[in-house]
């Protein structure tokens, strides 16, 4: 008897230590079962579920399209470095060695990516080839064109262009600065407007999806009103009752997010040839860029989160009206 007691006492700690793991496994099993049943419920009504998924996808596409517009405009800005170049013209009497020294000093500035020196003779040659007036210009006794610096900003922005202009103004040898950054100001204003519209649209879409998904979940709760009332009478917790509906909202959100990503790919594929044709007319290599893998995953995660939050809010409000 003593041996039996000793053996049973040795096994007791193992039984106690395995209890938490068994409890965790049982909870996972319950969640798995509820998740499968919620998915079956959605598949039993493909028409209603599909309509909600399509609405979610179209709603999520709107802010995603604005994000795509912003990304493409920013990429286009980065490809317009030549259009953002600044030309500084020296006085005719400035010697070449002094102009080269100024070019080296400007090259060291952080806001300048490159400062290319163009001598007066090189400027005359380029102008002759571009204008077709080579013979006329060669007959002149003196070269009328000054030497110049062609400056490429480190960043295509009005602030950078202003900083470079102020730096050039400190040199007495520079007579004139050709600076045209009005298009940059317009582009930055457009990007700022698109970002503000994107934030506002995202809030409106979130509110709309909460209403749409919440209404679909509310209908499901109402259809099981009697069943929920009986579960409450037997002491069923609200978390147990709400769990299937939370999975339903999550599934709807994920499906809507995935469909939104697919529709975005279709839109980009259909617009790609037209955009390429327009870009070729302006001798540009601009191409549409889509969402990255991370941005697609964030879009799906956002839709899933909205689906879960909508279901959570709707279930809590509806169950408060159901008495045991």
42 contacts: CB under 8 Å, gap ≥ 6: 49, 248, 251, 252
| Nearest alpha carbon to residue 224 among 251, 243, 250 | 243
**Domains of the chain and any CATH numbers:** 33-78+186-319 (no CATH), 86-180 (3.30.70.3040)
Q: What is the pTM of this model?
A: 0.62
CA distances from 308 to 1, 176, 207, 223, 312 (A): 58, 62, 13, 19, 6
**pLDDT string in tens for the chain (324-residue length):** 444 444 444 444 444 445 556 655 577 777 788 788 888 888 888 888 888 899 999 988 888 888 888 777 766 655 454 556 788 888 888 888 888 888 888 888 888 878 888 887 777 677 666 666 656 666 666 777 788 888 888 776 677 777 887 888 888 888 888 776 666 677 777 778 887 888 888 888 888 888 888 888 888 777 777 777 777 777 767 677 788 888 998 999 999 999 999 999 898 888 877 777 776 665 556 677 778 889 899 999 999 999 999 888 888 887 777 666
DSSP secondary structure of 60-113: HHHHHHHHHHHHHHHHHHHT-TTTT-EEEEEPTT--HHHHHHHHHHHHTSTTEE
């Amino acid at each position: 008897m003593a041996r039996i007691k000793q053996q049973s006492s040795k096994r007791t700690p193992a039984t106690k230590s395995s209890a938490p793991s068994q409890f965790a496994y049982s909870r996972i099993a319950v969640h798995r079962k509820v998740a499968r049943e919620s998915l079956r419920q959605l598949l039993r009504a493909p028409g209603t579920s599909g309509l909600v998924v399509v609405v979610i996808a179209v709603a999520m596409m709107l802010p995603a399209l604005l994000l795509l517009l912003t990304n493409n405009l920013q990429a286009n800005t980065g490809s317009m470095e030549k259009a953002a170049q600044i030309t500084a013209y020296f006085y005719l009497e400035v010697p070449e060695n002094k102009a080269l020294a100024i070019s080296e000093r400007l090259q060291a500035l952080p806001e300048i990516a490159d400062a290319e020196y163009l001598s007066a003779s090189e400027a005359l040659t380029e102008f002759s080839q571009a204008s077709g007036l080579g013979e006329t210009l060669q007959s002149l006794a003196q070269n009328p064109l000054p030497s110049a610096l062609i400056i490429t900003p480190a960043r295509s922005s009005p602030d950078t262009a202003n900083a470079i202009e102020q730096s050039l103004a400190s040199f007495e040898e520079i007579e004139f600065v050709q600076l045209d950054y009005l298009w940059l100001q317009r582009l930055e204003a457009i990007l700022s407007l698109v970002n503000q519209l994107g934030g506002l649209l995202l809030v409106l879409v979130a509110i709309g999806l909460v209403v749409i998904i919440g209404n679909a979940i509310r209908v499901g709760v109402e259809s099981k009103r009697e069943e929920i009332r009986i579960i409450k009478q037997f002491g069923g917790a609200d978390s147990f009752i709400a769990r299937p509906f939370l999975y339903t909202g999550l599934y709807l959100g994920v499906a809507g997010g995935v469909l939104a990503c697919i529709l975005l790919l279709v839109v980009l594929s259909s617009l790609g040839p037209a955009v390429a044709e327009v870009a070729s007319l302006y001798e540009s290599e601009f191409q549409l860029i889509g969402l990255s893998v991370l941005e697609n995953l964030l879009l799906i995660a956002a839709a899933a989160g909205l689906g879960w939050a909508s279901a959570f809010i709707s279930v809590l409000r509806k169950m408060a009206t159901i008495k045991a």
